[in-house]
């Protein structure tokens, strides 16, 4: 029984690892279009000694599956420094520390007094008949416009680089949707869950955010994908793009871009939805059409290095997010050298700024000089930073993060119905039920579980 996996990002690599953990003698082959494995996991160390993450910056240590994977392959995770818990939102001309506790929220000036009172009224906010609300509709209905704009909208930027007026709340943030459905109120739900956690002696009490600590590795996120690739060895074929597929009796045939063919019993497409669409175009056009409807706006990651004595005291903590109402070019900045050790040479700091995404994809595609000008202008305006950067590196993602827009859940149902006609064909990756690396790893594990039935 041969299993072919297309795509050597974390989804493809973790699926291969999970299959082999269950069945060490399984015949597994991985085809990757790029010369490099890892996909959106993309660490680069500059000659000056800056460790830049061009894509994934880390994963939250709350979901055990990724940590289990790390221990399975002998990797030691590196949790973010505790000072990185301090996060900021830029609003009304200044940076406000994000409140972590209810008392801090009441004292914070991020929201006006009426805005804070409106949040308290969430306990009594009404429901809705709309089965697929946008994040903006949901946030405004439950917490008021101000809290939506200054708290919820930056969350959409931080995770999806998304547009909250188009994102489906139930697809993007199912936990929020479930809290309302179960408890009639987010605040009431959180209080009840916290009480339950305390009663059970669980120190990790649920809060409004996703919870957990950001985690990476001392030599960056590529340690994870490189280690997986090392273990998978010659099973991986790089610079091997798959152009299309066909099926004959029970076997699938992969049509490689170089004109050769590969036969396989089971086929796992662990590439982004637009690439799945192109691979499936001839074989199953209706499915290809549905997959191609999942949008991936452009996003650029701009890494800038500064001498530490030139930036202090502009920014401590993790970094800051910029709400859409502020109408700036940048989505937010992470001070990577505050988050993990070894991200910048001694005496220097590394800033990592996101530009583009669903609201302003055209900004993510600006030429280098204009992109740098925009980032520097915003950093100056938002944090007062005027120093010349000593180092710059831009990472471009023409198609970055899939957007779960209103209608996403219905699209997934239609995709699943069509897939029933194609036993042995599996679609995985971050286009469906979670964009985070953790969710890719969980899906990889589930895929391997389902494949066990075929062995």
Ligand X SMILES: Cc1cc2nc3c(=O)[nH]c(=O)nc-3n(C[C@H](O)[C@H](O)[C@H](O)COP(=O)(O)OP(=O)(O)OC[C@H]3O[C@@H](n4cnc5c(N)ncnc54)[C@H](O)[C@@H]3O)c2cc1C
With both helix axes pointing from N to C terminus, report the angle between 10-22 and 64-72 in degrees, rounded to the nearest 10: 70
Instruction: Give the residue with the Cβ less far from ligand X, 91 or 225.
Output: 225
User: Distance between CA atoms of 92 and 86, rounded to whole angstroms?
Assistant: 19
Q: Of 15, 18, 26, 39, which one interacts with ligand X (CB under 6 A)?
A: 39
What's the closest the beta carbon of residue 112 comes to ligand X, in angstroms?
Answer: 32
C-beta of residue 46 within 8 angstroms of C-beta of residue 392: no
Show contacts with ligand X in window 276-295 (CB under 6 A).
279
What's the closest the beta carbon of residue 59 comes to ligand X, in angstroms?
Answer: 5
User: Distance between CA atoms of 385 and 90, rounded to whole angstroms?
Assistant: 14
Q: Of 15, 18, 19, 32, which one interacts with ligand X (CB under 6 A)?
A: 32
Instruction: Give the residue with the Cβ less far from ligand X, 191 or 419.
Output: 419
Show contacts with ligand X in window 206-245 (CB under 6 A).
241-242
Q: Which helix (H) or strand (E) holds 30?
A: strand 27-31
- Residue 9 within binding range of ligand X, rule CB under 6 A: yes
Show contacts with ligand X in window 377-416 (CB under 6 A).
397, 400-401
Q: How many residues does the chain have?
A: 455
What's the closest the beta carbon of residue 284 comes to ligand X, in angstroms?
Answer: 16
Instruction: Give the residue with the Cβ less far from ligand X, 180 or 336.
Output: 336
What's the closest the beta carbon of residue 254 comes to ligand X, in angstroms?
Answer: 9
C-beta of residue 27 within 8 angstroms of C-beta of residue 3: yes
C-beta of residue 350 within 8 angstroms of C-beta of residue 376: no
Cα-trace Rg, the chain? 23
List Cβ neighbours of 420 (8 Å cut-off, separation of 6 or more): none
- Tell me the window of 34-42, 368-376, 411-419, 445-453 that interacts with ligand X (CB under 6 A): 34-42
Instruction: Give the residue with the Cβ less far from ligand X, 111 or 358.
Output: 358
Bridge partners (DSSP) listed for residue 261 = 255
Instruction: Give the residue with the Cβ less far from ligand X, 186 or 363.
Output: 363
The pair of three-digit structure tokens given for residue 327, joined into one six-digit string: 């109408």
Question: Could you give the maximum distance between any two Cα atoms of the chain, in Å?
Answer: 68
What's the closest the beta carbon of residue 39 comes to ligand X, in angstroms?
Answer: 2
Q: Which helix (H) or strand (E) holds 320?
A: strand 319-321
Helix ranges (H only) for 222-269 are 222-232
User: Distance between CA atoms of 368 and 65, rounded to whole angstroms?
Assistant: 38
What's the closest the beta carbon of residue 398 comes to ligand X, in angstroms?
Answer: 10
What's the closest the beta carbon of residue 66 comes to ligand X, in angstroms?
Answer: 9
What's the closest the beta carbon of residue 54 comes to ligand X, in angstroms?
Answer: 7
Kindly write out the interface string for residues 296-335 of this chain, putting x where it contacts ligand X by CB under 6 A and - elsewhere: ---x-x----------------------------------
Kindly write out the interface string for residues 58-97 of this chain, putting x where it contacts ligand X by CB under 6 A and - elsewhere: xx--------------------------------------
CB count in 10 Å sphere of residue 214:
19
Q: Of 164, 270, 355, 366, which one interacts with ligand X (CB under 6 A)?
A: 270
Report CA-CA distances (Å) from 239 to 5, 235, 259, 436: 14, 13, 13, 25
Instruction: Give the residue with the Cβ less far from ligand X, 52 or 382.
Output: 52
Q: Of 31, 105, 173, 217, which one interacts with ligand X (CB under 6 A)?
A: 31
What's the closest the beta carbon of residue 384 comes to ligand X, in angstroms?
Answer: 26
C-beta of residue 404 within 8 angstroms of C-beta of residue 166: no
**φ, ψ at 128 (rounded to 5°):** -150, 155
- Residue 451 within binding range of ligand X, rule CB under 6 A: no
Nearest to 77 by CA among 220, 181, 204: 220
Q: How many residues bind ligand X (CB under 6 A)?
A: 38
The SS3 of residue 120 is helix
C-beta of residue 66 within 8 angstroms of C-beta of residue 37: no
Question: How buried is residue 92: exposed, middle or buried, by Cβ count under 10 Å (0-12/13-18/19+)?
Answer: exposed
Q: Of 95, 164, 275, 427, which one interacts with ligand X (CB under 6 A)?
A: 275
- Residue 56 within binding range of ligand X, rule CB under 6 A: yes
What's the closest the beta carbon of residue 184 comes to ligand X, in angstroms?
Answer: 31
User: Distance between CA atoms of 366 and 347, rounded to whole angstroms?
Assistant: 31
- Tell me the window of 52-60, 144-152, 229-237, 380-388 that interacts with ligand X (CB under 6 A): 52-60
What residues make contact with ligand X under the rule CB under 6 A?
A: 6-12, 31-34, 39-41, 55-59, 241-242, 270-272, 275, 279, 299, 301, 397, 400-401, 429-430, 435-438, 440
């Amino acid at each position: 029984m041969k299993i072919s996996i297309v795509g050597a990002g974390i989804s493809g690599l973790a699926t291969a690892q999970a299959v082999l953990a269950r069945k060490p003698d399984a015949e597994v082959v991985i085809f990757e279009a790029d010369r490099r494995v890892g996909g959106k996991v993309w660490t680069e160390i500059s000659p000056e000694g800056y460790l830049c993450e061009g894509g994934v910056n880390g994963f939250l240590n709350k979901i055990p599956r990724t940590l289990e994977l790390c221990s399975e392959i002998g990797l030691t995770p590196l949790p973010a420094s505790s000072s990185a818990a301090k996060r900021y939102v830029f609003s009304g001309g200044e940076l406000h520390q994000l409140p972590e506790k209810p008392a801090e929220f009441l004292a914070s000036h991020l929201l006006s007094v009426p805005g804070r009172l409106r949040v308290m009224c969430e306990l009594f906010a009404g429901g809705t008949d709309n089965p697929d609300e946008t994040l903006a509709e949901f946030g405004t209905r439950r917490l008021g416009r101000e809290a939506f704009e200054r708290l919820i909208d930056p969350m959409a930027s931080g995770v999806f680089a998304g547009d909250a007026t188009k994102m489906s709340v139930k697809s993007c943030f199912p936990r929020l949707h479930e809290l309302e459905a179960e408890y009639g109120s987010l605040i009431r739900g959180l209080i009840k869950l916290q009480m339950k956690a305390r009663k059970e002696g669980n120190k990790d009490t649920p809060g409004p955010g996703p919870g957990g600590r950001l985690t990476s590795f001392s030599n960056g996120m590529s340690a994870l994908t490189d280690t997986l690739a090392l273990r998978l060895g010659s099973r991986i074929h790089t610079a091997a793009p798959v152009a299309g597929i066909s099926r004959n009796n029970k076997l699938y045939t992969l049509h490689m871009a170089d004109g050769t063919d590969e036969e396989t019993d089971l086929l796992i497409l662990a590439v982004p939805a637009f690439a799945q669409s192109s691979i499936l175009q001839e074989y199953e056009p209706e499915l290809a059409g549905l997959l191609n409807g999942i949008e991936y706006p452009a996003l650029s990651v701009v890494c800038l290095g500064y001498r530490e004595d030139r930036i202090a005291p502009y920014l401590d903590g993790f970094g800051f997010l910029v709400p859409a109402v502020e109408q700036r070019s940048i989505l937010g900045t992470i001070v990577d050298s505050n988050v993990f050790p070894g991200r910048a040479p001694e005496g220097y700091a590394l800033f990592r700024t996101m530009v583009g995404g669903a609201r302003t994809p055209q900004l993510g595609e600006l030429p280098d000089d204009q992109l740098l000008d925009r980032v520097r202008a915003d950093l100056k305006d938002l944090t007062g930073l005027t120093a010349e950067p000593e180092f710059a590196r831009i990472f471009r993602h023409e198609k970055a993060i899939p957007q779960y827009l209103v209608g996403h859940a219905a699209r997934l149902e239609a995709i699943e119905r069509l897939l029933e006609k194609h036993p042995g064909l599996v679609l995985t990756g971050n286009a469906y039920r979670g964009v985070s690396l953790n969710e890719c790893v969980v899906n990889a594990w589930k895929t391997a579980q389902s494949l066990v039935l075929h062995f």
